[in-house]
Amino acid sequence: MKDDQASSTAYTVLQGILYIAKASPYKYLVEDEVVEVGQQILEGTEEGRNRLKQLNGPWLGLSVKFREWLILPGITLHYILRKRHVEDITAKAIEAGVSQVVMLGAGFDTLSWRFHKKYSDVNFIEIDHPATQKAKTVALDKNKGANMHFLSVDFAHQTLETELSNFAGFEAERKTLFICEGVMMYLSDEAVNILFKSIRDLSGVGTQFLYSALEPQKSAKNSIPGLLYHHLKFIGEPIDWDMDSGKMADYIKQHDCELKSLAGRDELLKSFVKDTSDIRLHSGEYFTLCEFK
C-alpha cells in the first residue's frame, strides 16, 4: 500500500461483503445496515464508486468465482464469517461489562460505526493508516456521535502505546476489548510481542483481546493454497507470523493472558451458516479471544 492511497484490501473486503449481500445464497448473513453503511463508505471516494459500479456490472460474479478457484476457495464467504464472529464476540463483551472497544487496522469495517449508535455508553476507537482512514471518514465523520473516535497511526513510524496513550478519546480506566482482525499474520514475532505488551500497559488486567491468526502453512489444519503465499510475498505483504491453534493457550500465557475461546472454519460455519453441505471454504485462519490477568 502506498502512503497516500487507501488500502486496496479494505476496498476488496468491503466489496466482497456487498457482493455476498447482493448475489450470493449467503445474503442472509449480511444485515441491511451493513449494506447501507458499506455503500456510504464506498460512495465517498472515486475508487469506492468504481467498486460500486462493478457490483452492478455483469463481470464481478465471474471475477469472484475465478479468483476463488485460482487463489482461495470461499474467500468472500470467509470475509462475512469473520465479521459476524467479531460482531458476536463484541456484543457479548459489551453485555458482560466492556465499555470501550478499540479496533486495530479497522479498514472499512462497519462494526464500530454501527455499534456506536446502538451502544451510546460505550466508547469506540478505530485505529488505521492515515490514507485508509481518511477515505473512510470523508464519508462518515459528519454524522458521528461523541463516543466514536478515529485515530490515524502509521505503524512504520509510530507506536500503538505512545499514540493511544496520548489520544484524548482513549479512556484507560474503562474495561476494554481490543480487536485485531486479519493483521497479525503480517507482523514479525517481535512486533506481535510488542503488541501484547502495549495492550497490557495501556489497559491492564481484565482487558480482552480478540485477534485472528494463521495455522502454520504446512499444518494439516491449513488448506490455503501455496499460490496465495507466493502472491502475498510478490506484492510485498508476506506472511510473517503464524501459530498452531493447539499451542496458542501456552503462547499467550507468556503474555499473562488466559484463553477464552478459539474459532476456526468449522466453528464459524456451525455458528452462522444454515446449510454447510455444499461449501468450498478453505481452513487455516482462526480467531483467539483472550483476557489479560
For the stretch 79-105, pLDDT in tens is 999 999 999 999 999 999 999 999 999
CB 217 within 8 A of CB 242: yes
Question: What is the predicted pLDDT for the residue at 203?
Answer: 95
- Write out the three cell numbers for 129: 493508516
| Residue 93 grid cell | 463483551
8 A C-beta contact, residue 79 and residue 11: no
Across the chain, mean pLDDT equals 93
Domains of the chain (ranges, CATH numbers):
8-292 (3.40.50.150)
Averaged pLDDT for residues 203-208 = 96
pLDDT-derived band at 71, boundaries 50, 70, 90: confident
120: number of Cβ within 10 Å: 10
Residue 209: which of 87, 119, 90 has the closest Cα?
90
> What distances in angstroms separate CA 262 from CA 84, 93, 105, one per listed residue?
15, 15, 21
Contact 257, 292 (CB under 8 A): yes
State the Cα–Cα distance between residues 86 and 179, nearest whole angstrom: 8
C-alpha to C-alpha distances, 7 to 10, 110, 217, 227, nearest whole angstrom: 5, 15, 25, 21
The model's pLDDT over 237-251, given as tens digits with 9 standing for 90+, comes to 899 999 999 999 999
Nearest to residue 63, comparing CAs of 12, 11, 6?
12
* Ranges of H-type helices in the chain: 8-23, 32-42, 46-55, 60-70, 75-95, 111-118, 130-140, 160-165, 189-203, 226-234, 248-253, 265-272
Map residue 184 onto helix, strand or coil: helix
- Residues linked to residue 261 through DSSP beta bridges, in sequence order: 289
Q: Above 90 in pLDDT, residue 278?
A: no
Q: What is the CA angle 192-200-162, rounded to 5?
A: 80
Rounded Cα–Cα distance for residues 277 and 113 (Å) = 34
pLDDT of res. 223: 94
Q: In terms of DSSP bridges, do strands 100-104 and 123-128 run parallel, antiparallel, or are they unpaired?
A: parallel
CA terminus-to-terminus distance, the chain: 36
Instruction: Give how far the C-alpha of residue 224 lies from the chain's centroid of Cα atoms, to the nearest Å.
Output: 18
Average of per-residue pLDDT across 66-73: 80
Cα 130 to chain centroid distance, Å, stands at 17
User: Which residues lie across from 176 on neighbouring strands?
Assistant: 100
Contacts of 183 (CB under 8 A, 6+ apart): 104, 105, 211, 212
Structure confidence at residue 65 (pLDDT) = 82
- Please give the pLDDT value at position 50: 95
Q: Quick check: 170 and 108 in contact, CB under 8 A?
A: no
- Cell 487496522 belongs to residue: 105
How would residue 148 be classed by pLDDT, with cut points 50, 70 and 90? very high
